[in-house]
Structure 1
Amino acid sequence: MADHCSPTFDQLASALGFSCQEAGGLVEVRNPLALENWTLPVLELTIVLGSVLALVVAIVRLRRMGDPTNLVLWFGATAYLFIIEPPLYFPAAFGIEDHVDTMFAHNVFTVDFLWGRLPLYIIAIYPLMATMAFEIVRMLGVFRRYGVLAGAVCVGFVHHAFYEIFDHLGPQLRWWEWSTENPINQPLFDSVPLPSVVVFAALWPMSLAFCVQFFVGRHVDEGRRFSGPELVWRTVVIGVLASLGTFILPLPATVFGMGSTTARAVLYAAELLVVTVVAIWILVRQWLRLRGENTDDPTYTNYFVQRYSVVYLSVMALLWATALPDYFGAVDGVTDNGDPVGNLWYTLACFAVAVLCVVATFTVPRRNTAGSDTASAGAPAATGP
């Protein structure tokens, strides 16, 4: 597959410590103890295990409660991945090399696909992150109270907090390398392209959540059951439309910011600010309402998401802690090993938001959770093993 080793990807791969020309085939398995550093297999195990468990819980929920929302979310996120990522890995194969150069390169992990382009954990992280964000918002009853769009905005905000903890650490620990000269990656927010901070951390999960709740979740809330073929076509449509949403939602920045990095930065930041302000207002208001309201409305709990969110945040905290000595020793944003560092203060803010969101799900009173067979956004608590 050496003919697909573009100069940019070859340069990024070399910086990460592997050769593009020698990077496996369709599938390659490596010794996890022989990777670039010990953080790679730890990250890989955390994400892959969580994603597999999320899939199991989604299947169990469908079988026991007749609720396919989590399963559609899982496969919808995966469908989105396979629509969006391959053209970014092989722009020449898709005929877009004149418009889109290689944006980044992942390091090689224990299990890789597509000639070193796609680690297994990247396939896993899309549905895992989407599940954690969606279910936190669902447990707080936002979809039920405020509707599809407001719920989707909150999912984008929560996902952003969880994702940026990971996004600002990856370049320093050589999980991936950004092409900093690529105009699409401009402007940079320390070691992270601002488009990644806004589009991939907030807007795509917002788009996905809207489609999942619109095509499946709201109907399940009303007691509707779907057949297998209905779920298949709806999942495919969700993946496609979520991809379109990722193109449409950042249009103010991509169109009006064209030709000016500063204007693009302001517009990206403005979009993220709108999402943040709206989501914080809704989430805080809804949490206070649930805490103070005496109601017999049934509530919903996903025990797996509650517990695995704690696992994820704990692992990320450990990885960040081990990276801090090199972070504080960095000069001009680059460590002694030549690796760019992320923004610690922004990451701490994201940690705070993520922790508060998880804690909020534990502090909402639970009512009428037993004996119900309706898998709604306000339905039974027993959703996980």
Structure 2
Amino acid sequence: MDHTCGAAAERLAEGLGYSCHGTEPVVDLRDPFGLENGTMPVLELLVIGGAVFALVHAWRRWRRDGDPANIALWFASVVYLAVIEPPLYFPEWFGLEQHVGFIFSHNVFTVQFMFDRLPLYIVAFYPALSQLAYELVRVLGVFARRGPLAGAVAVAFACQVFYEIFDHLGPQLKWWAWNTGNETINQPTLASVPMNSMLLFASVSFGAMTYLVVRLTGGTDGPRTLTGPRIGWRAAVAGAATPLAMIIASAPSGAFRGEDLLGVQRAVLGAELAVVWAAGLWLLADAWRAARAEPSPVASPGFARIYPALYLGVHVVLWLVALPAYFAAADGVTEQGTPIGSLWYVVPCAAAAAALIAAAVRASGARRTAEPVRS
């Protein structure tokens, strides 16, 4: 047993179809057509392409429009990943084995880093999703009308609905596997997905990071002219500080740790998720009303019109591919031995994601209609 492949990591890796022994410490490459299943290269293309698209868009927002928030958020997302992910993969290296334990293991994709623990698409996922959610909320005018705090809450909601469509599908398709033996962190669950992950990783992290970035790059006073180094340190601070917000948000449910208190934890986490949904739906409804009354205060760029719809559409197709095995599952496990997510939660998430996209299109359409025709 080597220092990168403990008993729990070995068990999860074997279940996913690979070995965590003898892995490359820096980077490893595989044939995209030889992965565990055909959904994996599709996911990689969607997410990595989205991150590149988001970077190009963020650069244009900074250099052409003078707004550094997008580019700062993109890099803050990468800093956040660099801070939060290594302790999750190797808790024993950071003295966290007794506190958090081994939580999950990714499957191996085309490009892998850190002893095969970190797929390239995960590196790309954070900036792609943060930019997706931020741009939808920005185009809806929430930041302009309601300020950075309300805007960050709306981003937390947008990330919740887009993230959980992905989160509840991954374990069934062997994109990753949760360590069910880790009851401290991975319980309680909604189907196969830990509720702590649903709240902290899918909403709190993105909302907090967005708030910090917006405040550090100008807030509601409009964009500042910031140089690259000034954007860099602001992005680093925002990304590195984001886990602190997650620790604070985990305190209410963390106060009720223990097998005999799982019901209380479930109720607390459910209530916190309900707050995210209630606030997000209210802000979405407010954006719909505002779009009817007046054009959006900001223009809708190509990224906001294209990538959110593409992300949702591809995930809908992937869900359709997974549904036969999903409905044939017994006791939450497919015939292939993989756990299923919660379709009843994914359906409202998909509906809310579609509503966000439609609202953004409507708002930008109202703006174009209201703009005078230039000769």
Kindly provide the CA deviation profile for residues 137-187 of structure 1, in whole angstroms up to 9, marking residues without a partner as x: 111111111111111111000110000000000000000000012121101
1:250 aligns with 2:250: yes
Q: List aligned pairs for 1:103-118, cutoff 5 A.
A: 103-118=103-118
CA contact (8 A) 1:105 1:178 kept: yes
Q: List aligned pairs for 1:310-329, cutoff 5 A.
A: 310-329=309-328
How well do the aligned residues superpose, as a CA RMSD in angstroms? 1.8
Q: List aligned pairs for 1:122-161, cutoff 5 A.
A: 122-161=122-161
Deviation at 1:84, TM superposition (A): 0.4
Deviation at 1:298, TM superposition (A): 3.9
Question: Percent same amino acid at aligned positions?
Answer: 45
Please list every run of at least 4 consecutive aligned residues from structure 1 whose deviation after the TM superposition is greater than 3 angstroms.
256-259, 367-370
Corresponding residue for residue 178 of structure 1: 178
CA distance in 2, matches of 1:48, 1:227: 26
CA distance in 2, matches of 1:63, 1:222: 15
CA contact (8 A) 1:138 1:300 kept: no
One-letter amino acid matched to 1:126:
Y
Corresponding residue for residue 363 of structure 1: 362
CA separation of 1:223 and 1:117: change in aligned 2, threshold 3 A: closer
CA distance in 2, matches of 1:134, 1:251: 26
1:77 aligns with 2:77: yes
Deviates more, 1:188-197 or 1:170-179: 188-197
CA distance in 2, matches of 1:194, 1:58: 32
Corresponding residue for residue 262 of structure 1: 263
The 3-state SS of whatever aligns with 1:92 is: helix
CA contact (8 A) 2:67 2:223 kept: no
Q: List aligned pairs for 1:235-246, cutoff 5 A.
A: 235-246=235-246
One-letter amino acid matched to 1:233:
W
If the length of structure 1 is used for normalisation, what is the TM-score? 0.92
CA contact (8 A) 2:168 2:192 kept: yes
Kindly provide the CA deviation profile for residues 273-301 of structure 1, in whole angstroms up to 9, marking residues without a partner as x: 112111211220122122123x7x74221
Q: List aligned pairs for 1:343-354, cutoff 5 A.
A: 343-354=342-353
Long gaps (5+) in structure 2: none
CA contact (8 A) 2:291 2:362 kept: no
Deviation at 1:223, TM superposition (A): 4.3
- Tell me the matched-pair count: 368
Kindly provide the CA deviation profile for residues 93-125 of structure 1, in whole angstroms up to 9, marking residues without a partner as x: 112222221100000000000011000000000
CA contact (8 A) 1:104 1:179 kept: yes
Corresponding residue for residue 306 of structure 1: 305
CA distance in 1, matches of 2:302, 2:70: 13
Deviates more, 1:74-83 or 1:206-215: 206-215
CA distance in 1, matches of 2:244, 2:371: 37
Long gaps (5+) in structure 1: 371-385
Deviation at 1:255, TM superposition (A): 2.3
Deviation at 1:369, TM superposition (A): 6.8
Deviation at 1:267, TM superposition (A): 0.7
Kindly provide the CA deviation profile for residues 231-260 of structure 1, in whole angstroms up to 9, marking residues without a partner as x: 121111101221211111222111245662
